[in-house]
Structure 1
Amino acid sequence: MALSLSRRLVVCALLAGGSFSVFSTAAKAFELVEQGKLTVAFTGDMPGSGWQDGKLIGYDGEIMQKIADKLGLKIQPALMEWSGTIASVESGRVDVMLGTMGWTEKRANIMSLSEPIHYFKNGIMQSDKTSWDKLSDLEGKKVGTITGFSFVPELKKIKGLELSLYDTADAAVRDLIAGRIDAVIGDPPVVSFAIKKNPDWHMHFLAFTDTNPDFPLLTGLGQVVYGFNKKNDDLRQKVDAIIDEMWKTCAMKEIGERYGLSADVWYTPAGENFRAGVDRPADYKLPSCKTAG
């Protein structure tokens, strides 16, 4: 399976990588796990993140690599399952985590979260013989998702839904292909990328058409962000300044197009701005490639 293969390639690249060069002194002001290096927790699930030729790749990964380069920091890769990424940031074992993570207020309370790097709409990975795009379509179905995803409590509220939790996306997709579950609710970029690379699966992804205030994480517009340890908020602010510049030049979309994220929905905020007055000022406006000057 492509998802499994991508992770194997990441592991091989990490094992084969040579030692990192010693860094000068440009970023000593930051409180880092290892001075001169940005220790990054990532999952290796493409198109979000991967490791190749000593650099982060994937949409999330390539943006983070560019940020680290601008900050004068070397990337120290920390490949792990999704379920361990946030805990690693909280405990200070890594400086930042990425992996198409959506913003939530709960996560904002335990981490310092960056500006969005793109937007997304959750949906259903399913057989191409079905066309489910509503919460009600999942009633009475066997559904898989990933341990630690923010919308798990909302899935549990759907009538008759039988939920299976997985540590990895490839494990969930494997069960879907085998017919052990009916659908997967995963990271939209990850599942869309996997479907595109594997037409023989006969799967497709349909975004939820509901806009249900009782299910905001499932049906609202999501923001993909990076998570930093609270003690590193100064680092987060430096990162945000670079992200803002990338929005202004539409570099986000230029990078995204290399990974199949070409539609405007990935770069145009819509719906309620949940961050205003929470981890951003009350008058906070979400960035947009379309409105960039």
Structure 2
Amino acid sequence: MKTLIRRGTIALVLLGAAALSGCAADAQTTVASDCVPASKFNTLHEGKLSVVGPDYPPLFTYQNSKIDGVDGKILESFAKANCLELDVKVLPAAGVIEAVKGRQADVAAGGWYPTEERAKIVNQSEPAYGDPAVLVGKNPSGQIEDYEGKTIGTTQGYLWVDDLVKWAGDKAKLYQSPDAVYQDLLNGRIDVAMMAVNEAAGRLDQSPDSGLSYVEMAETPLIEATQHPSVTNLPHTKGNTELTEAINSHLEKIRNDGSLAKILGDFGIDESQAKPESE
């Protein structure tokens, strides 16, 4: 479980709630009159699935009435399978879970990790896909031990930060955002970056000529997070067990028919993450 500020705190909740009315839009979805839903469940607004998420490529984006990103495509297919139109809202990450808690949206998008704390205020689906730690660099090694004495950059808030600092000491360089990590890697200020796979994939996709690549970290006792790789889920309204069952059923379907792996691959994420190990 990653506890990055942009995914876990609620410092911007009031700002986010106020922004809901200004950032909502109906996606261009047409439901056929003879459509038969795959599952039966209630949503906050009849005939619509309300989705909220941060602008967070490659996992979730919404521009020009088009939902995109890994979670966006999953939820687009879920809505279609259940004869629902999409109603999409974009918020700062700190306000997303609170919006679902406050019943302003049915489901949250954006690569959310399941946690015990979140389970108190929202329902959580089964794991959707893996989001393990990777090392990013020029022909990177997956063995963190190979970078002893090298400068390793990562974002503050990850579960692995304490272990990394304990092992690397002052060679561990902490940043406020993944973008800052990646920029310093591009500019040669650090030797390697330790990132979540979705963050690495998105940035590499935007700079295909960088000469950089990523490799999943090998399990090591030095970094506990490598022993229990993170997974994502789709948080949704508390108490709506039928929605939970429907989301889980859809995830199982697209996992089994290969479409989830294809979605991941389309966004530069290893297709094997479609079958994650539960934490």
For 1:8-47, what per-residue CA distance to the aligned partner results, in whole angstroms no more than 9, with x for missing partners? xxxxxx98977878999x8996352x55432322233333
Q: 1:16 to 1:35 in 2, by over 3 A?
A: closer
Residue pairs, 1:95-244, within 5 angstroms: 95-126=106-137, 128=138, 131=141, 133-134=143-144, 137=147, 141=151, 143-145=153-155, 149=158, 151=160, 155=164, 158-160=167-169, 161-166=172-177, 169-178=178-187, 183-212=192-221, 215-244=223-252
Once the two structures are TM-superposed, the CA of residue 191 in structure 1 deviates from its matched residue by 1.3
CA distance in 2, matches of 1:47, 1:153: 27
Q: Is the 8 A contact 1:211 1:220 kept in 2?
A: no
What letter is aligned with 2:245? Answer: Q
Counterpart of 2:61 in structure 1 is 50
Of 249, 253, 256, the match for 1:245: 253
CA contact (8 A) 1:28 1:35 kept: no
Contact 1:139 1:158 in 2 (8 A): no
Q: Which sits farther off after the overlay, 100-109 or 71-80?
A: 100-109
Contact 1:103 1:225 in 2 (8 A): yes
Question: What is the rounded CA distance, in whole Å, between the counterparts of 1:135 and 1:87 in structure 2?
Answer: 40
Mapped pair 1:266 → 2:273: yes
Using the TM superposition, give the Cα deviation of residue 252 of structure 1 relative to its aligned residue in structure 2, in angstroms: 1.4
Instruction: Measure the CA separation in 2 of the matches of 1:260 and 1:135.
Output: 26
SS at 1:200 equivalent: coil
Q: CA deviation at 1:109?
A: 4.6
| Aligned twin of 1:82 | 93
Deviation at 1:180, TM superposition (A): 5.5
Shift in alpha-carbon separation, 1:185–1:95, aligned structure 2, 3 A: farther
Q: 1:84 to 1:19 in 2, by over 3 A?
A: closer
Number of corresponding residues: 251
| Aligned counterpart in structure 1 of residue 42 of structure 2, from 8, 14, 30 | 30
The CA RMSD measured in Å over matched residues stands at 3.9
Structure 2 CA distance for partners of 1:129 and 1:266, relative to 1, 3 Å: closer
> Is the partner of 1:201 in helix, strand or coil?
coil
The amino acid that maps onto 1:266 is Q
User: Any idea what SS the aligned residue of 1:101 has?
Assistant: coil
The CA deviation string for residues 231-266 of structure 1, in whole angstroms up to 9 with x for no partner, is 333322221122222223222123333333454x32
Q: In 2 relative to 1, CA 175–247 (structure 1 residues): closer, same or farther, beyond 3 Å?
A: same
Is the Cα–Cα contact under 8 Å of residues 23 and 89 in structure 2 kept in the other structure? no
Between 1 and 2, higher relative CO (CA 8 Å, sep ≥ 6) is seen in 2
The 1:124/1:21 distance shift into structure 2, 3 A limit, reads: closer
TM-score (ref. length: structure 1): 0.67
Q: Is the 8 A contact 1:122 1:188 kept in 2?
A: yes
Offset at residue 59 of structure 1 (A): 1.9
Amino acid at match of 1:143: G
Structure 2: give runs of 5+ residues left out of the alignment: 1-21
Deviation of 1:142 after TM superposition, in Å, equals 5.5
Distance 1:198 1:56 in 2: 22
CA drift at 1:208: 1.3
Match for residue 264 of structure 2 among 247, 253, 256: 256
Q: Is the 8 A contact 1:104 1:150 kept in 2?
A: no
How far is 1:143 from its partner? 2.5
Decide which structure has greater strand share. Answer: 1
Alpha carbons of structure 1 residues 159 and 190: separation in structure 2 relative to 1, 3 Å: closer
